[in-house]
Structure 1
C-alpha cells in the first residue's frame, strides 16, 4: 500500500476487509445463480483486482498531491518501524498490506487446478508480480514505492493460498475417506 497520511491510513484496512467480503459475496452469488464454481471464482478474482486497484492506485490518486513520492529499497525498514515504534500508522500499513492480498491469494489458489504446492506457488508468484507492478506504477505516478509493500502483499497472497490449499486438501482427504468407507 502507498504511504498514506495518518488520517487516510485508517481507511485502507476497512476497505480491504470490505473487499474481502465483496469477494465472498461475488463468489457466493455466482455459485448460487448456477454460473458454476469457476465462473464465480473468476468474478471473485476480478473483484479482488478492482479492490486492490482502488486501494493502491485509485485511493492515492484522489488523496495525494502529485510529486510527493520516493522509493524504499531497504527490505524490512517499514516492518521494523511498525514493530519497534508500536505506533498505529505503521501497524495499519503492515496489517493492511497483508490483509489486502489474502483474498487474492485464496482465489488464485482455488482457480489453480493442480496440487497443493502448485496452488500456493502460483498464488504467491502472481501476488508478488501484481504487487511489483503496483509499486512500479506508484513510482511512475510520483508516489512512494516500497519494497516492504511487495514483501507484505506477497505474504498476504501466500497466506491466503496456504489457507485455501489446506482447506482443499482436508476436503479431498475427507472425500477419500468417505469413498474408502463405502
Structure 2
C-alpha cells in the first residue's frame, strides 16, 4: 500500500489553502496598499517607507528578490558541499525577510516624535483591551518569522522556552529604543509579552522540522550477546 500519496495530497491541499489565504488577504488590503503605490514607485520616502501600508507594499514587492536570494545561496552552498543547503538558505532569508519589516514599523516615529516625552506602561495586560484584534495580531507577528526559522538554522535555539526568551529580549530592546529615541510611542510590557508569545508559538509550529536526518543523533549500538552453548 502506497502511503505517500495521501501525504502528498495533504501537502498539496495545505499549500493550496495557504495560497488562497494569502490571495484573500492581499485582496482585502488592496485599496490601502494601492494608496502607497505612487509614493513608492517614485522613490519618495514620505508616503512610502514612513507608513505601514508602504512598508507592507514594499515587502510584498521584495518577495521575488527574497526567493532569488534563497536560490542563489542554495546553489552556492550545494557547490561547496554544505549539508542541507536549501534549509539553511531558506531559514536565513526567511528570518530577515519576515522580521525586518515588522521591526521597521515598530520604530516608525509618531507625529510628536522628538517633542513629547517617552511613555511607559508597565502594568501587564492593561493595554490589551485597547489594542484590538489587529493590534494583538500584529504584535504576535513581529517575531513570528524569527520564531519559525531560527530553530531551523541554529540547533541551539531549537527550544520553545529559548525562543520565548529570545523574543522577549529583542522586544525589550525595541521598547527601550522607542522610549530613548522619543518616537512618540508607548513602551508597553504587553508588547513584550505578545512579541515573545508570537515567537514561541511560531517556533512550536516549526517544531516537526527542527531536526533533519543529518542532524539526528545516531542510534545507540546494541550490546552483543554471547552465543548460547
Q: Give the TM-score band, short-chain normalised.
A: 0.5 to 0.7
**TM-aligned CA deviation for residue 29 of structure 1:** 3.3
Give the stretch that moved more between structures: 25-34 or 43-52.
25-34
What's the counterpart of residue 126 of structure 1?
166
Structure with more contact order per residue of length (Cα contacts < 8 Å, sep ≥ 6): 1
> Which of these two proteins has the greater Rg computed from alpha carbons?
2
Partner Cα separation in structure 1 for residue 179 and residue 199 of structure 2 = 22
- 1:103 aligns with 145
**Whole-angstrom distance in 2 between the partners of 1:30 and 1:108:** 20
Distance 2:168 2:200 in 1: 9
How much has 1:24 moved relative to structure 2?
A: 7.6
TM-score computed with the length of structure 1 as normaliser: 0.65
Is the helix fraction higher in 1 or 2? 1
**Residues 126-154 of structure 1, C-alpha deviation per residue, up to 9 Å, x if partnerless?**
11111000000001112320111000000
Superposed displacement of residue 47, structure 1: 2.5
5 Å-filtered alignment, 1:17-166, equals 22=63, 25=67, 28-29=70-71, 33-35=75-77, 36=85, 37-57=87-107, 60-61=108-109, 63-66=110-113, 67-68=115-116, 69-82=118-131, 90-113=132-155, 118-142=158-182, 143-166=185-208
Q: Which residue of 1 aligns with 2:36?
A: none
Name the structure 1 match of 2:56: 15
Q: Please, what TM-score do these two structures have when normalized by structure 2?
A: 0.53
Q: How many angstroms apart in 1 are the aligned matches of 2:152 and 2:145?
A: 11
RMSD, aligned α-carbons: 3.5
Relative to structure 1, the CA distance from residue 80 to residue 165 in structure 2 (aligned partners, 3 Å threshold; closer, same or farther) is same
Q: CA deviation at 1:122?
A: 2.5
After TM superposition, give the deviation of residue 32 of structure 1 in Å.
5.4
Deviations 1:3-51 (A, max 9, x none): xxxx9xx947x939x57x9498478535654542324422322334422
Distance in 2, Cα, partners of 1:140 & 1:128: 18
Partner Cα distance (1:160, 1:15) in 2: 20
Query: What CA distance in whole angstroms lies between the structure 1 residues aligned with 2:52 and 2:164?
Result: 26
The separation in 2 between residues aligned to 1:73 and 1:26, in whole angstroms, is: 43
> Which stretches in structure 2 are left out of the alignment for 5+ residues?
1-31, 33-50, 78-84, 217-229
